């Protein structure tokens, strides 16, 4: 049996206390295997972002366990969790979260540099990663001089640079038009097909259809699960050829 890249067991998350208490997750169990993209759908406030933040060890659960590649995140020190995030996890958010004063290649190299990888090596890996998302030649651009789709591709390059193997994307297409959103999803899907695992929060059934599994959250609980028909490689190639504006 392969160890899942991420495994949540009966995870609960309660914010606040007393009258202000909010149960964001009410006992969620979920595993993500290598090569698997799991989409999370649900109404606003159903706990999707909390689920992603807990899987990414950015938040700690009130109860239950989170294992990343078999290691219990709750048993780690904050420092060990920070190192795990820098090395093994990649995050993509709706608002890109790029550093405006760094060029594209510097943004992508940042997690590697923070992890102590020598500058030249980090920049080389970052340039490779930018080439992989179709941004060769734009390494020196600042985020302000890139389109929304290009910025999100920089964010995907950063989330997947180096050896990281679990990609956590919270509405990555939320700020993009549909053509650009499809290109970004194509990049994500490719990386998953190369062996990463991914959790994708989305409101959009079109994007959820690219997942291997769709999990539906309601009031902090998984209420349904489905397996979309696989998206054909022809459709993947067609959308990968579209150049976003």
CA distance linking residue 32 with residue 83, whole number of Å = 20
> Minimum Å distance from CB 15 to ligand ADP?
3
- Residue 199 CB, shortest distance to Mg ion, in Å, is 12
Give CA 106 to chain center in angstroms: 20
- Cβ(143)–Cβ(100) under 8 Å? yes
Residue 173 sits in the site that holds Mg ion (CB under 5 A): no
Cα 227 from chain centroid (whole Å) = 19
User: CB-wise, 104 or 201, nearer to ligand ADP?
Assistant: 201
108 or 211: whose CB is closer to Mg ion?
211
CA 122 to the chain's CA centroid: 21
Question: Which residue minimizes CB distance to Mg ion?
Answer: 49
SS3 173: coil
Partner that binds at residue 24, options ligand ADP, Mg ion, none, CB closer than 5 to 8 Å by kind: ligand ADP
Question: Applying CB under 5 A, what is the total number of residues that bind Mg ion?
Answer: 2
* Interacting partner of 95 out of Mg ion, ligand ADP, none (Cβ under 5 to 8 A depending on kind): none
CB 82 within 8 A of CB 114: no
- Minimal distance, residue 134 CB to Mg ion, in Å: 28
5-13, 27-35, 45-53, 132-140 -> range binding Mg ion (CB under 5 A): 45-53
Pairwise CA distance, residues 92 & 173, whole Å:
10
**99 contact choice in ligand ADP, Mg ion, none (CB below 5 to 8 Å, kind-dependent):** none
Query: Binding string, 47-66, against Mg ion, x = CB under 5 A?
Result: -xx-----------------
In the complex, the residues that contact ligand ADP under the rule CB under 6 A are 15-16, 22, 24, 42, 44-50
Alpha-helical (H) ranges within the chain are: 48-55, 78-88, 104-114, 119-132, 148-160, 178-193, 205-208, 233-241
In DSSP terms, 215 is beta-bridged to 40, 225
How far is residue 144's CA from residue 151's CA, in Å, rounded to a whole number?
Answer: 9
Task: Closer to ligand ADP by CB, 50 or 186: give it.
Answer: 50
Q: Structure tokens of 85?
A: 């995030």
Tell me whether residue 165 or residue 171 sits nearer to ligand ADP (CB atom): 171
Least separation, in Å, of the C-beta of 57 and ligand ADP?
A: 15
Q: Which phi-psi region, left, alpha or beta, contains residue 64 (left: φ > 0; alpha: ψ -120 to 50)? A: left
Do the Cβ atoms of 40 and 170 come closer than 8 Å? no
- Name which of ligand ADP, Mg ion, none residue 197 binds, using a CB cut-off of 5 to 8 Å depending on partner kind: none
Report the alpha-carbon distance of residue 24 to residue 47 in Å, rounded. 5
C-beta of 49 vs 103, nearer to Mg ion: 49
Shortest distance, position 98 Cβ to ligand ADP, whole Å: 21
> For binding to Mg ion (CB under 5 A), which residues are involved?
48-49
């Amino acid at each position: 049996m392969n160890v899942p890249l991420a495994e949540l067991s009966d995870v609960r998350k309660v914010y606040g206390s007393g009258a202000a208490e909010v149960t964001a997750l009410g006992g969620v169990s979920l595993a993500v295997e290598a090569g698997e993209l799991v989409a999370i759908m649900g109404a606003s406030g159903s706990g999707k972002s909390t689920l992603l933040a807990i899987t990414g060890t950015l938040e700690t659960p009130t109860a239950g366990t989170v294992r990343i590649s078999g290691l219990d995140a709750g048993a780690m020190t904050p420092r060990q969790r920070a190192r795990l995030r820098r090395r093994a996890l990649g995050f993509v958010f709706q608002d890109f979260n790029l550093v405006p004063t760094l060029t594209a290649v510097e943004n992508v190299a940042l997690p590697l540099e923070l992890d102590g990888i020598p500058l030249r090596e980090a920049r080389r890996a970052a340039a490779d990663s930018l080439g992989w998302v179709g941004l060769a030649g734009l390494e020196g651009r600042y985020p302000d001089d890139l389109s929304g789709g290009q910025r999100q591709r920089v964010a995907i390059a950063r989330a997947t640079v180096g050896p990281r193997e679990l990609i956590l994307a919270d509405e990555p297409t939320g700020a993009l038009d549909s053509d650009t959103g499809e290109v970004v999803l194509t990049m994500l899907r490719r990386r998953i097909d190369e062996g990463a695992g991914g959790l994708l929060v989305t409101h959009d059934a079109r994007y959820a259809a690219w997942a291997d599994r769709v999990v539906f959250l309601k009031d902090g609980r998984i209420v349904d699960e489905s397996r979309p028909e696989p998206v054909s490689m022809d459709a993947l190639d067609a959308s990968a050829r579209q150049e976003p504006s």
